[in-house]
Amino acid sequence: MKRAWLTIRSLVLWAVSGVHFAVVCTFLIVLGTFVDPRKDDWLQRLFCRNVLRLAGARVEVRCSPRFDPAQTCLFISNHVNIFDPFVVYAAIPQFLRGFELESHFKIPIYGWLMSRFGNIPVPDSPNREGLRIMAERAKAAIDSGISLIAFAEGSRTRDGHLRPFKKGIFSIAQRLGVPLVPVSMVGSFEFFRTGHWMLHPGKIIVFVHDPIDVTPTGRDGAEALRQRVQEIVSGPVEESLKKSRKA
């Protein structure tokens, strides 16, 4: 009986959230044709919050006192499921854009939308030239006052634990020279697990950690930065997983 109720509840949540996504996203696409996305940022943020709310997720944000919402930053977050972009956009109080595989920009409508909204194309086959181009695109965005978010694992977790962060984004962070802000999403794995379809309504807590000043120090510096950020991001996530196992 309980299983049947959980199944029906998930179906309803998917349906309600999906209809809202389809209707409002279509409206934003049309609006984006005529209006600079920065001018309706509040509407995009509301859209993301409502997608999560209707799917059963409540978002709580815990920002470090040292975090300055007015300062352009590069955010590094863990990657859990397809709701992650909605979570970070709803939680981080800045005009924010992300990195997207270059091949995704070729998808009809979706690719145009990603380009129009300012996401940064990432070469599907990473190499030195590809990273250089990616860094130039990221710099152009940062210089125009757009903060960026990167899911440094490169793929979604299947067990709740963080996968090793890719090193390339940290080399790019050194080139950009902007503050790097670790972000931990806790509760997303319990809400929705990649590879499954059931939704489990609950709270997602987003930790926005202390900014890290980035100084170009070569390959060794990028590796040290990668390890440091991975430790910070994984801290609240691992603590939550331990509590879940004990419960």
Q: Which two tokens stand for residue 201?
A: 């309504």
- The one-letter amino acid at 179: P
What pLDDT is recorded for position 16? 94
Q: Determine whether 21 is exposed, middle or buried from the number of CB atoms within 10 Å of its CB (0-12, 13-18, 19+).
A: middle
**How large a percentage of the chain has pLDDT more than 90?**
48
Average pLDDT estimate for 123-144: 80
Lowest mean pLDDT among 96-110, 122-136, 155-169: 122-136
Average pLDDT estimate for 117-130: 75
What pLDDT is recorded for position 219? 59
CA distance 90 to 59: 8
| Mean pLDDT over the full length of the chain | 88
Average pLDDT estimate for 145-152: 92
What pLDDT is recorded for position 2? 72
pTM for the full model? Answer: 0.90
Residue 46 and residue 59 in contact, taking contact as beta carbons nearer than 8 Å = no
Residue 96 and residue 144 in contact, taking contact as beta carbons nearer than 8 Å = no
Q: What is the pLDDT of residues 150-194, one digit of tens each?
A: 999 988 999 999 999 988 888 888 888 889 999 999 999 999 999
Q: What is the pLDDT of residues 18-43, one digit of tens each?
A: 999 889 888 887 887 788 878 888 88
Question: How open is the CA angle 230-128-219, to the nearest 5 degrees?
Answer: 45
